[in-house]
Amino acid sequence: MAGKGWFRFTPTAPATRFPSMNTQINPLTLDSAVEAVREKWPDAKPRCGLVLGSGWGEAVADFHGSEIPYGQIPGFGKPGVMGHAGKLLATTVGGMELLVFQGRRHWYEGEGWTPVILPIYLLHALGADTVLLTNAAGGIRDDLDPGSLMAVSDHINMLGANPLAGPHNPNLGTRFPDQSEVYEKVLRKKLLDAGADAEGVYIATSGPTFETPAEIRQYRSMGADAVGMSTVPEAIVANALGMNVAGLSCICNWAAGISQTPLTHEDVNKTAAAAMPRMKSTITRFLEGLAHGSE
Ligand code: HPA
């Protein structure tokens, strides 16, 4: 059959393979990525990073600066998901230097951990101490109806994998990172002050399927308030590196079984577009607060 059929599968890195020389990230890939960014922005000293999830692209429409396409940064690859632009933007908010990752890579894209977690290692290598991770999510808790904004208070990792698995590099954090407070309390308060409606626990599945109603019932009983397919890998890595982490979910649909209609990525994006004015003002106020505050 192999090679003769109408379809040939080109294998990408399987979930269980640790790339050779890898720690959590291949240091050579990270060095090349830092070099590519330094070449374009030799004096950049970002304090904070912003990772834009599904539906969040327009939230930075009023932020201006210089851009690098992901294709020019080794290790990033090309986002394969609709609505993820694939550019890194250097800008300032309230005098604070910010790097915006316009487009996220996901575990389910099948290219291994590097494109998913490289933005965090890159931020850390460039000196940033804070990252805001945004995403689209399905609402599980009764008050989290579509259009609401949830500050992530904690997470549950249902990806079935951990981005820190593999040979350990002690320069990139301890082998067994504490996760008692991945999402920093002060930043959670800042998100609420900036316009988030509520706090809640985000559960990450590997995707790319949406969940079944039975899975959502299970996740609810586990303490999950919203469900999505991202954010947790980056949060795990940033926390392990000692960075301050904030997470913000735009609830774009009721989760499976609660929703009366089948779920689609297009509808997720439509709800995000309708909520965009609030998404925009919330992240802008949050970032301005960060720029002017002590943290
Ligand atoms: N499940 C998983 N990911 C999502 C959802 C959902 O219901 N909505 C937006 N992203």
Residue 227 Cα to ligand 1 midpoint, Å, equals: 6
CB 141 within 8 A of CB 201: no
Pick the residue with more confidence: 1 or 23?
23
Q: For residue 106, what are the domain limits?
A: 24-292
Task: Establish if 5 belongs to a structural domain.
Answer: no
Q: What pTM was estimated for this model as a whole?
A: 0.91
Task: Establish if 9 belongs to a structural domain.
Answer: no
Residue 130's CATH number: 3.40.50.1580
Number of domains in the chain: 1
Instruction: Output the pLDDT for position 167.
Output: 85
As a whole number of angstroms, the distance between CA 55 and CA 279 comes to 10
Share of the chain above pLDDT 90, in %: 74
Burial bucket for residue 108 (CB in 10 Å: 0-12, 13-18, 19+)? middle
Q: 3-class DSSP state for residue 65? A: coil
CB atoms within 10 A of CB 95: 9
Q: 3-class DSSP state for residue 9? A: coil
- Choose one of 150, 156, 229, 267 to mutate for the ligand 1 pocket test, by most ligand atoms within 8 angstroms of C-beta: 229
Task: Establish if 15 belongs to a structural domain.
Answer: no
As a whole number of angstroms, the distance between CA 174 and CA 242 comes to 10
Task: Establish if 154 belongs to a structural domain.
Answer: yes
Ligand 1 pocket at CB < 6 A? 136-138, 210-211, 227-229, 252-253, 255, 263, 268
- Ramachandran class of 147: left when φ > 0, alpha when ψ lies in -120 to 50, beta otherwise: left
Task: Establish if 182 belongs to a structural domain.
Answer: yes
As a whole number of angstroms, the distance between CA 19 and CA 17 comes to 6
pLDDT at 25 over 90: no
Task: Establish if 84 belongs to a structural domain.
Answer: yes
pLDDT tens, residue by residue, 67-103: 999 999 999 887 666 666 789 999 999 999 999 999 8
Instruction: Output the pLDDT for position 150.
Output: 98
As a whole number of angstroms, the distance between CA 47 and CA 95 comes to 10
As a whole number of angstroms, the distance between CA 86 and CA 117 comes to 15
Strands 96-102 and 87-93: antiparallel
CB 15 within 8 A of CB 161: yes
CB atoms within 10 A of CB 48: 23
pLDDT at 23 over 70: no
Task: Establish if 138 belongs to a structural domain.
Answer: yes
CB 196 within 8 A of CB 275: no
Cα 189 to Cα 152, 186, 192, 232, 288, distances in angstroms:
11, 5, 5, 20, 14
As a whole number of angstroms, the distance between CA 20 and CA 10 comes to 20
Residue 229 Cα to ligand 1 midpoint, Å, equals: 7
Look up residue 194 and give its two tokens: 């900036």
- Choose one of 141, 206, 210 to mutate for the ligand 1 pocket test, by most ligand atoms within 8 angstroms of C-beta: 210
As a whole number of angstroms, the distance between CA 143 and CA 233 comes to 26
Pick the residue with more confidence: 294 or 207?
207
Task: Establish if 55 belongs to a structural domain.
Answer: yes
Average the pLDDT over 231-258 and give the result: 97
